[in-house]
Structures are given as C-alpha cells and as structure tokens.
Structure 1
C-alpha cells in the first residue's frame, strides 16, 4: 500500500495541536488492520499520559495502538527487534583521515535493554574517584568509551537509543521495509523537538511509502535541551524539511485570553495568532514587583483565588530549574506526577517478585523474558480484577505462567492483599498547585501561571520582541561555539501555558530597561 504525502500541521500554542491529533487518530482507528500498528509519539511522559487519557475518553485503546515517548518507540519498533543486526567488531577504531573516533557496535545474543543516564554517571563516578576533578573533555572521552562498551554487552545508555535506531533503519533496507509494513499510521506530536537523528528515522519510514504520517509542531516552541546540536534556527527539521509535507497552518489560540494572546504574539517569529477564548476584565498579564520567592508565590496565590471556581482550576509555578520552588510548600512536582504510573508499575513488579520468590533479573532469566515483557505482564496483572485469592492464583499461574513460591510458611495471600490495596489508592486527588521546569511544561496548560526569572539577564531575553535577535546566531563565550540563543523561546513556552492570567516575576530587582519593556508590552504591575 502506497500512502499520500505526509501531513505537517504548523500551529501555535493553544491551537489544539494535540486535541486535533487525537481526533485524527480516532478518525483512522476503524481503518487500522489487526496485524499492523498505529503509533502516537511525543517527547515527555506527561504529554504521553495526556494523549492516552484523551483517547481513553472516546474509546478503549486497542492492543495494536502504541502511545509513548520517542525513545520508547525506538526501543519497541527498532532496537529490541533488530538490535542483533548491529555489525560485529572487537574495538573502537580511530579514523586517521578525519581524526575522529567512529562508533562501532557488536552483534550479541543478549537482550538489549535501556540503562538510565544517571546510572551510567553513577558507575563512572565509582570507577573514577577523581571524576569531579576531570575537565569536560576528559569526562567525554571516558563516557564515550564506557557507553560503547555497554552497547557491545547489550546495554543501551539512554542517549544511544536514537543513534542505534537511526543506524539500523538507515543502513538496512530490510529494517525500513519491515518497520514500514508493521506501522500503518505514525503520529508525531511536538515535531519541533525532533533532532537530526530522530528525523532520519521518521524520514526512512516516510520513504518506505507504507505508513501514513501525521506530524504537529510549533517551531517557536523548539528548545535545544530536547534537540541539541543545531547552530542555525532555520536548520531545525520542522523548518528545513517543510517541502516534504503537505503543510497546514492553524492560527487560532483556543487556550489563552485575548490579553495573553496579544502579549505572546510579540515574541512569535512564526505565526501571529488570534484568540478564540472569551475575555473578561480580570484576565491579563501581570508583573509581581517583589523579589523574595515566598512573597512572590504568596502574592500569586492570593491574586489568583478569583479564578478558583473555573472548571479544572489549576496553577503552575514555572522556572528554568527544577528545584526553583523547593522552598515553597504545598506544590506538586509535575515531573513526579507524570511518573506516578511508572512508580505504580514498579510496585506491581515488586509484588510479583515477592510472590515468585525471585528478583526481577532472576525472573527474566527463569522465564526467558526481558524487562519490557515483565512490565507488560505486570500491567496485565494490575488491570485484571479479582473477586478473591483463588481467582488471582489461577490467573497468575495459568495466564501469566508464573509459579507461586513453594517455600515453607510462604503466605501468597498477603501479597495478593498488597496488590488489591494498590488499586484503591485515589486516582484523582484534588491538587491545584503544580511546579515544574519550563521545559517539562510543554504541552500542558493551567488556569493561572507564574513564571519566575532568575535575574534581569534572563528576563531581558524572555521579553526580547525583536524577531531578528530571537533567531540570530550568537557566540557562546563559555562553550566557544556559535549557536542561536535558546532562552528566548523559553519565555514564550512558559508564557503560553496560561489560560486566564499570566504572572511574571524576577528574583532580582528589575532594571529600568526591563521595566520600560514590560510597560511597552502593556503588562500590569502588582
């Protein structure tokens, strides 16, 4: 089956990109063939959960619909099925002409599994007691050698997943054909955050001409923390490769009030949006003149109580650093909330290990499964309802094919009770105040948003409304490299999370230049 040209939807913040993508998914679900997959991918756990929740409101998600992060997608459709195709070598080799070390991989009969970046750093720090005294180049050399060693052992550090996936699908036509045959539909959210390696994977799938592709994104919300390596804003894939797609532009802003939409249009180098959200006098953009974080937070909380009766009332406290609001009590970290399902899954796996009498590694070896398959079985166990222990025992041994421990005085019913207790934890606690980094807030929205700058320099970049400056290539004195400045777009991303009211603050007394800029942008001081 040959497909038409892929669709690329360019749309600004609050335009309903994800909502429209979910509608497209629902439209094509009836056409999904039983032996093929529909994949919907995005860049954060929170955004993944959001897509799942929206789909679940309309339909039971079929088993052949994959919703997950880009890296989870690469693992499932490329690394795990085709990792054994990686070529055999015995050591890394240096290219004398280019004076660079090339990446080599080794075929292995071991199961490939992901190794968290923090774990890699933990191992390196343990191996090298003087790690913290080494310079950046020395650390890079050691990390490079270690990660390649891990890959040869079948262990994939997180930052290697994309390069391995790209290698497999670009160098093996059979992989491209098989992935194309397996994927009937591919939906990519937040396409602006796609880096070159990830784009290569998606483009190879496009070249197979077997997969219908739908991508949505907003170049203005590109943040290089997600997609490092670009020196020129015009070279990010969403802008550079537009000619490969049927492009649709959506200019409506269905999230923000007209005051906020007008404000963020000052910083949008791609699209000028039109507000579709009703405007009332209490909506707007405000600057809190205090510089103490607790005072700023309390003022924000007091001023925004007038919106509490709004449906799904929520407040965001945003900053560049994750720990910025640690001193403010009563805030829920979105990063933790988004991982709640992961922690719950870990609890279920822990219960399985207790019932079987082995740890997770031993279970994988005994039952000839990998950690991904173990997680899948844990999810099945979690979703299954049991009237009593006997029903549970039958399902555990017959359907999951696990053996309950036969040790003397072993009480499996105790652990069955633990599983049942997990299921009665309230799913929807009434929290209203959340904090996260600006990066992790992408794709999310709140009734009222507070954005705090560390100093005048950061605030100045957020408020830069000269479009040429916002995309200009800068020289970074610290890294001795030329690149476009990322911080300009951080402000835009944060500002565009707000529906009713946007509050801005700075931990440093604002200078005259920033004050005049705020006044020129019609920001109200409180």
Structure 2
C-alpha cells in the first residue's frame, strides 16, 4: 500500500522534480523558479526520506522562510503520511524558520548559554524601545554621534543604533577588531555593540539577531553539543536559501557536519532581503562550498502557475538587465518555461493607467475592477491583488479610500491605518478623558510641542461628542467619576491602563465592536484592532513595570504613555491583523507590498509603483565594513547592487500573477521642474508594448481562477486550548480566537515558579547530580526562577506568597527522601497529528513496574475534594489518558499509571492516581475532536456563565453588561 501510494505521487513529478526528490545523499542545490512546484517537491522529498530511506523524525531539519510556510509544510507532510497510513512523530522534526529552530536549540541547551529561564524575546519595536530607554548610556562612547546622529531625537538615535547593532550580529563581525579600528565610526560601533551585549545579559534578553549569534556560539564553544546534533541530524533542507544571511549559513553548515546531506532550495532572482542582511552570494556560491562535482544541481524551471504570456513578460524583464560584471555572472543562467498544454492566445498582460495630464488613475482602476466584476470574470474581490513598493504612502492610501468609498473593500494590514480606525481613536480618546490632568502635565517646558498632541486633542473631541449622546449616559457618568479620582488620586488603584481598557468594554460605545457572528478578516477588523490595542497596553505596562496607579507615579505614567510610547507607535506605524490561514480574505481586494506577496499567488495581479528607480542602499560605513571587517570579501559589486535588487523586486511582483498581469500608474511626461517621467525609465520599454485594458475585450473571456485555500493544520494544547474552551467558550473566543491580552495574574506566576523549580530538580537528577538537590541549592534555583519570571512578566508575589511557593517545592523534595531513581524524563513534549488538527501537551515521566513508565502532572494547589470536584477529576483523567496514549506511540513503552501531584497538599497523600484505561482513550480523543470542531466552527456560545472562573477574568465587565 505504501509503495503504491508513493508511486502514484511520484508519477506526478516531472523529471527534474523526481531527481530533486531522490537525490538525498550529499549536497544538492535546487534552483526553483516561480510556480515550479517547490513545496510539492519538498513534501515528496521528506516523504521519500521517511518511507524509502527509513529516516526518523529527529534526523530531519527543514528550515522555511516564514512560520506560515512551516505550518503549511507540516500540514502537507502530515496529510501525505496520513493518507498512506504511516504513523510518524512530526513534532520531533526540526521544522520551522531558522530563527525558531535556533530558539529550540537554545531552549534545549539553555544551561550552556548566558540565558537564564524566562528570558525576554524582543521584536523590532521592543528592541528599539529598549535602546531608547538606555540611549544615555551610549552618550559616553567617543564619536557615538557618527553612529546614531548628532541632532537626532532619542527615538531616531535608537532606530539608527539598532540597524548597526543588528548588522554586527548578522555579519558576525569581530567586536575587538571594530574597537581597535583607527576609523572613529567603526570604533564607536565596536564599543556600542559591547555595551549592548552587556545590557542584553543584564536584562536576560534576546533580539532576533542575537538568537542566531547565541546559537552559533553555543555550537562553537560546546563541541559535544555540536557533535550530538551532527549525530542526530542526517538530512537538512533549507528553503528560500537566497534570503539567508552570513550567520545563518554558518549555523546550517555546522549542523550539517561531515555528512553534508544539505539540500538548499531557492531562486536567486527572488532575493529581496539585502536590507535585513541577506546575501545572494549564499545561493550563488553554494556549489563552490564543496569539491568539484560533489554538489548536484537541479533546476525547476517549469511554471505551473502562470499563463505563457506572463512568463514571457517577466523573462524579458530579467533579460533587460546586465547580470555580468568584469566577466563574472551574478545570476544563474535560466529561463522559466510554461507547462505543456493548450493556452489561450488572449492578452494576459495589460496596462490600466491614468492618462498623461488627466490625473484619472484612481477612477481608471475603479472602472477596470468594476468591468471585471460586471462581466462575471471576478466572483470574489479576493481574486485581485495590488502590489506596491510600499502601502504607506499617500497615493496608495488615497486609492484604498477611493475604492472603499465605492463599496470595494480593501485589505491592507500594513498601510499604517491602525490609528485612523474609529474604534482605536475612541479608545485613545477615552483614556485621554479619564486623565484630565494630561494637558497640564504633558509639557516638560514652556516651549515644548509635539505634533501628536493635535492628534490626541482630535481624538478627545471625537470621544467627547459621543458622550453627548443619550445612549452613552452611563459611560459619561462612569468616566466623570474615574476622571475626578485620577485628577486628584489619594490612594493606589488596583488597575492600570489595561484594567481601564477592560472596564470600558462594558459600555455600548465599545462592546458594539465585539458583537457580530462573522469572523472574516474584513468584518472582524474592529474587534481585532481592539485586541491589538489591548496588547499595546499590556506591553507598555510590561516595559515600564506598571501594574497600578499610585498618587506618586500616575502623572509620570500618563506622560510616558502618551508622550513617548504611544507617540512612537503612531510615528512608526502598526500593522493591522493578518491571518496566516487566509492570506486573501474573501470580499476584499488585497493591497500588499511586493515583499509581503513573496511566495503567494493571485489570479489577477496589479503592479503599481512604476515611478520608482534603482536607488543606492548602502552607506560609507557599509562600504568600510564590507571591505575591511566582513568574514568574506565583497561579492556583488556595490555600485551594481541597486540595479540587481530593483530587477529582482519587480520580477517577484510580476511572477505572482496566474491569469492576468496588470501594470498600472498615473502616466506622466515630465514637463515642469521637480516632476519625473512615469513610468520611469526601467519600465518604459516593456510598458509601451502593453495594450490598454479598454482596447482588449478578450480579457473578459479569460478563465479566472479562485484563490487557493491555505491548508494549515492548527495546533491545540490541552492547557491553553482544550481546558479554556471547556471552562468558558466565550473566554476562548476573546483570548484565543481574537488574542486579547489579559492583565497578568499572580496565580499564573505562582504555578510557573513551582513547576520550573521542580523541573530544575528533575533535570539535576537526570544528570546524575542528586547530591546537588539540597535545600540551599533548591532555594537558589527557586530565587533565580522568581527573579527571571518577574523580569519577564513584570508581576510580583508578596513575600508570604513567595514563601508558600518555596514551601511547596521543599515539601516535594522532602517526600522523595533523596531517592530520585524513579525520574525518567522531564517536560516531555508530546503531540497527536489528527486529520484536521494537531494536539500537543507536556508531561513528566517516572519509572513504573515491570519496565513500564508512569506519567505525572504537577498542580501547584491543595488536593481538591475528589467527590465535590469529580467533574474536574474526570477532565484531568481524560487528559492524562491521551498523554499516555501519545507516550506509548512515541517511545514504544507501556504506561501503567497516571498521576496528578498536588504540591500544595500538606497533610495527606499528594497523589491522585488513575489506572490507564486503554478502552477510554478512543472516546476521549473523540471528545477532543468535538471540542476542536466547535472551535473551528466558531461556536463560542455558552449556556451558563462559569461564575467561579469569572472573578479572575478580565472580560467579566463585558459579560456583566451583555449576559
């Protein structure tokens, strides 16, 4: 059956795809052009390794460019194996982005790094804000103004500094060499980076660049760890290899080891991420990494996506550019070809543009869209995508508004419109109203002025107008009381900004945005924006350690929030919600950047930004670093990179189209000073050959494809999903479906603290270091975990609560009587791959009788009344049954017993033990299937509120008003 299934799929592979699948030993370079079935080939290659080469999951590493690509690949591989009735532990594969794989490596070996538990992972905004808060520490570095600018604002200095610090990490520059340079700018960069690393260590923090640097250092400094990976990772596959950077290449070759079974896949023509440190040389020089003839090369050049005329258009585009320089070629010589078969002779590449001098571009675009819809070519607006170099400029925003005013919805999550949305304006206006002292305290001197104050005043006026309405009378009264309290605060509150936010949701002005049954991206935009606003508030409180307002701190908190934090977010822009499982939401045309569209395909693609020209992307410092401090000498000639990157960018844009490619612009022949020709010179030759859409009636005869479903299996965990849904489906809706950010709760910190310290104890036992499990060491581990949890969560436990948590751990140690021989494995990740979802969990293993194992789950509370809490016990039993089932499948060992251990139990036996009931497992899994089915059907209705849980839920104000 297996062979038959494999043979059927192999028959769908073309000759080159088949070679790519079956070439498993040694290095392999796959040059995969647009629409060439790259993902299909990768799936079949993984399937081939598993079924024909009998490779185990832990022996395979697959790195993708995005998390979405990783999820899609995981889903397709699991479906492929499921269809062939093959059981396989996919979660043990190293499958994900290079960043996520590095994070997993660090997590598994954290004790060998500078990182402590609960380290903080910073995104780009966090990193810039981190530098902003510490920018004065850099002012003592000689010539620092050459790095971050002399007259720049603190925020701009942080932005400039961030760029150069990331470059040092990504290019693995030697800091001592930078510090010893005679160039003052280079020297300042070296000392800046040294200080930054010190700050990261003090805060137990990582940014996205240092994730990779820490991984590299771990592998280099600990040969045994690297050897372990070399022994376990037999096959590596790296997708989008043209977008890897220097340090990523180093890490991947370290992991590949002497086997050199490393397969890289990519398209040098779609290398877009030089600005993030990616280097095209990695894919162009890959074969030279090995002895002559060792690296096999396969070209996937048959495009199964696009019509021949579209393929011909972007082939011609690439041929216009000169790719040779001083006898060297900086592109693989290839030509993309259409698949065999009948193709229409209709015009599949056209232009839709405003006429020179008429300024009618927006209307022309609208009329074209309308004609395609009215002629029944387009059945859903999501079949159309607009691609721009940027979606943030005024021209693009104006087009989006123009179309929406004419009932064509636009999906443009990266257009910086978050703070323009009504629901966000009203929330900010409400917060301003609640702190009436802000206009008086916001100035730090008489001449101080910020543009954002005008925006805030506008939002406040808008909110004030709403308060005049009779239906908002209760809201007005509530706001007046709160504002009066805040104006002259006499005692500590029990809330901060996020607490006020959740209280506002009880009023109709805001909870109306939370209603509605549609979960489509466009229909649910308001609630998703409100959710995002909740995350911004909790992040501020986390960054500034704000949990309550006090009479002493309230004014500082207010000014910091509005004058710094919110101001920088408004200036930097916030992306609205993007759904990985629905990249082209139904009912909307998509407005995307070209970078954003990479890896996607659309039936109709409209490419704009035809006014742009190649621009220099490097500075003098870039040139100095490349010439003197990079690990390799420069590859592409610097003065040619702007040409290469420009052609690659638009090649990527043009190749997204399946059925119809449209070039669009407001034509302009420069006549006055300061104007430029549109389209610009690089586009003119091909643009002139295109027919105007009004002259080509055959476009209405085209068969326009539907948007393909994105096939992604979602992961559900017992504690984070199943338990929450069973407790309260409405809570699941807000916290999981819409991702609201809860106000941090001390109870969560208590449990994490107990669990993490017990994990330290178990890992010490597993390393045969039982002698270290002393009361003194346990207390040290406990305090270290607490300090790092506090840093991460910005939540504190009262001294007596800390003592109670420590007592639970010490009591657990005492009960073991220094015998740890029963501990078999700690924090075991288990998963169950189902037809439509993946179920995940974590558990500890202990040794059982007769070579069996037993599973144990720790609860940091007192043992409940087993009769009164029988329903909860039954729930835990079902959960443990599935854990047991997964452990048996994963390890092949029989599970004899299942335990709950209550660390808070002082007097009686802390264990609750269940025998494993094999017959009940199928019913339990079937129950979970039903829960997941309800979740995915968006069935969040509750018959009765779970009052016991409501008091700790931030959404209780909303529920009090609505239920």
TM bracket, shorter-chain basis: 0.5 to 0.7
Aligned ranges 1:218-297 → 2 under 5 Å: 218-225=267-274, 227-228=276-277, 230=279, 236-243=281-288, 244=290, 245-268=295-318, 269-270=331-332, 271-276=334-339, 278-290=342-354, 294-295=362-363, 297=365
Aligned ranges 1:73-472 → 2 under 5 Å: 73-76=101-104, 78-86=105-113, 107-128=114-135, 130-132=153-155, 134=157, 140=164, 145-151=195-201, 153-209=203-259, 212-225=261-274, 227-228=276-277, 230=279, 236-243=281-288, 244=290, 245-268=295-318, 269-270=331-332, 271-276=334-339, 278-290=342-354, 294-295=362-363, 297-302=365-370, 304-305=372-373, 308=377, 314-323=383-392, 325-327=396-398, 328=400, 329=404, 330-333=409-412, 430-431=586-587, 433-453=589-609, 455-457=611-613
Larger radius of gyration: 2
Q: 1:508 to 1:72 in 2, by over 3 A?
A: farther
Asked whether the 8 Å contact 1:115–1:156 carries over to 2, the reply is: yes
Q: Per the alignment, in what secondary structure is the counterpart of residue 266 of structure 1?
A: helix
C-alpha separation in 2, matches of 1:504 and 1:151:
50
Q: Per the alignment, in what secondary structure is the counterpart of residue 10 of structure 1?
A: strand
Deviation at 1:297, TM superposition (A): 4.3
Q: Report how many residues are paired.
A: 394
Q: Which moved more, 1:116-125 or 1:247-256?
A: 116-125
Deviation at 1:13, TM superposition (A): 1.2
**Alignment correspondent of 1:350:** none
Asked whether the 8 Å contact 2:611–2:679 carries over to 1, the reply is: no
Query: TM-score by structure 1 length?
Result: 0.65
C-alpha separation in 2, matches of 1:57 and 1:334:
31
Asked whether the 8 Å contact 2:35–2:305 carries over to 1, the reply is: yes
Q: Any stretches of 5+ residues in structure 1 without a counterpart?
A: 87-106, 337-424, 462-473
Q: 1:503 to 1:212 in 2, by over 3 A?
A: same
C-alpha separation in 2, matches of 1:51 and 1:296:
40
Q: Any stretches of 5+ residues in structure 2 without a counterpart?
A: 1-23, 83-88, 137-152, 165-188, 319-330, 416-578, 624-637, 669-677, 694-963
Deviation at 1:495, TM superposition (A): 0.6
Deviation at 1:304, TM superposition (A): 4.5
**Alignment correspondent of 2:76:** 54
C-alpha separation in 2, matches of 1:457 and 1:296:
24
Asked whether the 8 Å contact 1:177–1:208 carries over to 2, the reply is: no
- 1:9 equivalent to 2:30? Answer yes
Deviation at 1:442, TM superposition (A): 1.3
Q: Per the alignment, in what secondary structure is the counterpart of residue 192 of structure 1?
A: helix
C-alpha separation in 1, matches of 2:197 and 2:365:
43
Per-residue CA deviation, residues 452-500 of structure 1 (Å, 9 max, x unaligned), is 1162536xx9xxxxxxxxxxxx785787743511222110111111111
C-alpha separation in 2, matches of 1:199 and 1:307:
49
Deviation at 1:441, TM superposition (A): 1.4
**Alignment correspondent of 1:492:** 651
Deviation at 1:246, TM superposition (A): 1.6
Bigger proportion of residues as helix: 2
Q: 1:146 to 1:202 in 2, by over 3 A?
A: same
Asked whether the 8 Å contact 1:334–1:434 carries over to 2, the reply is: no
Query: TM-score by structure 2 length?
Result: 0.37
Deviation at 1:144, TM superposition (A): 6.5
Bigger proportion of residues as strand: 1
Q: Which moved more, 1:437-446 or 1:264-273?
A: 264-273
Q: Per the alignment, in what secondary structure is the counterpart of residue 117 of structure 2?
A: coil
**Alignment correspondent of 2:664:** 505
Per-residue CA deviation, residues 223-280 of structure 1 (Å, 9 max, x unaligned), is 13465265xx5xx111112243321112211111100111111234531111117532
Asked whether the 8 Å contact 1:79–1:112 carries over to 2, the reply is: no
**Alignment correspondent of 2:95:** 67
Q: 1:110 to 1:523 in 2, by over 3 A?
A: same
C-alpha separation in 2, matches of 1:120 and 1:164:
16
Asked whether the 8 Å contact 2:233–2:256 carries over to 1, the reply is: no
C-alpha separation in 2, matches of 1:85 and 1:134:
34
**Alignment correspondent of 1:371:** none
Deviation at 1:321, TM superposition (A): 1.7
C-alpha separation in 2, matches of 1:67 and 1:128:
37
